[in-house]
Amino acid sequence: MDSLNVFEYIINPNKRLYFGYILSSIFIAFLFYYFTKIKTKVIFSKKLWFHKSAILDYKYFFVGYFINILFLIPFLISAKTIAFSVNKFLYFQFDFFETNFFSYNQIIFLYTLALFIASDFTRYWLHRFLHTIPFLWEFHKVHHSAKVLNPATFYRVHFVENILFGLRYSLTIGIVTGIFIYFFGAMIDIYMVVGVNILLFIFSLLGSNLRHSHVPLSYGKYFEKWFISPKQHQVHHSKKYFDKNYGGYLAIWDRIFGTLKLSSEIKTMKFGLKKEQMKEYSSLKGLIFTPFENLINNYIRK
């Protein structure tokens, strides 16, 4: 990845490492420590930022960029292609349909909300499948092999998982868009801030980078039943609670499907995989090839 592309991750609001999200997370972290009176030394600790796991995150961030270019892009189908296909299917099945029930602003609001909710719903289920379907778990282990958490851990994701999430995104956005085009035609639009869905922008600005951090920011018992807090995602990374808090931004899916865990219920958290597994994911080679090796050993050879 050249300097220009690295710079893009900092200035592009569609990226988790966008400087605005980083700065807001730092600000929220300081507010958290100020009002809770908890010592802040953990966020400045060399043991955290220069931990072997953290350094591996930084390396994988760069290497992963090139891997995704080679393997991710060729497998993806655009949301636009899916949207046109869905619209065409609906047209041939149900003929032309036009509604005047909603104003232009109402349509924009509904489309913005529908994209956000549908995307969060499908993210929940794909994330859950990555844990509960054995051969998918082999790839998702890469993400959970992080011994310490930092914003770059967000990108510790195997390229096979990235392909799945890319397809999920295209299918979800394409289907929702195709349905809205069928009902509302060219009137559809989206509320955006600097080129990002306004709801995603707000959630990202409200400390999304703290999810992969050691800042135990909770939203409290009531709000954690609706929104996934940074600490709830940290709970998900804890060895004992991999099967909890699959949600991206909304906690309602976890609540409905029985996988919600409130952060107040957890006293201690230890990140990473089982001790005997950690060595397999201690290098770039391990992060990339171990899932395939495990699949061959555990499924094909048997």
Per-residue confidence (pLDDT) for residue 153, from 0 to 100: 97
CA 117 distance to own-chain centroid: 14
Non-local CB neighbours of 283 within 8 Å, separated by 6+ positions: 56
DSSP 281: G
User: Looking at residue 191, what is its pLDDT?
Assistant: 84
> Token pair 């495990």 is at which residue?
294
Query: Is there a contact between 28 and 210 (Cβ–Cβ < 8 Å)?
Result: yes
Mean pLDDT to the nearest integer, 56-80: 82
Task: Tell me the mean pLDDT in the region 96-124.
Answer: 88
pLDDT per position as a tens digit, 251-274: 999 999 999 999 999 988 999 999
**132's tokens:** 């509960």
Phi, psi of 68 (to 5 degrees): -65, -35
Q: Pseudo-torsion of CA 252, 223, 216, 119, nearest 10°?
A: 30
Instruction: State percent of the chain over pLDDT 90.
Output: 64
**Region 218-222: what's the mean pLDDT?**
94
Question: Distance between CA atoms of 199 and 202, rounded to whole angstroms?
Answer: 5
- Taking Cα atoms as reference points, which of 122, 112, 115 lies closest to residue 246? 122
**pTM (2 decimals)?**
0.92
The tens digit of pLDDT for each residue in 29-63 reads 989 988 887 766 667 788 889 999 999 999 999 89
pLDDT value at 2 more than 50: no
- pLDDT surpasses 90 at 280: yes
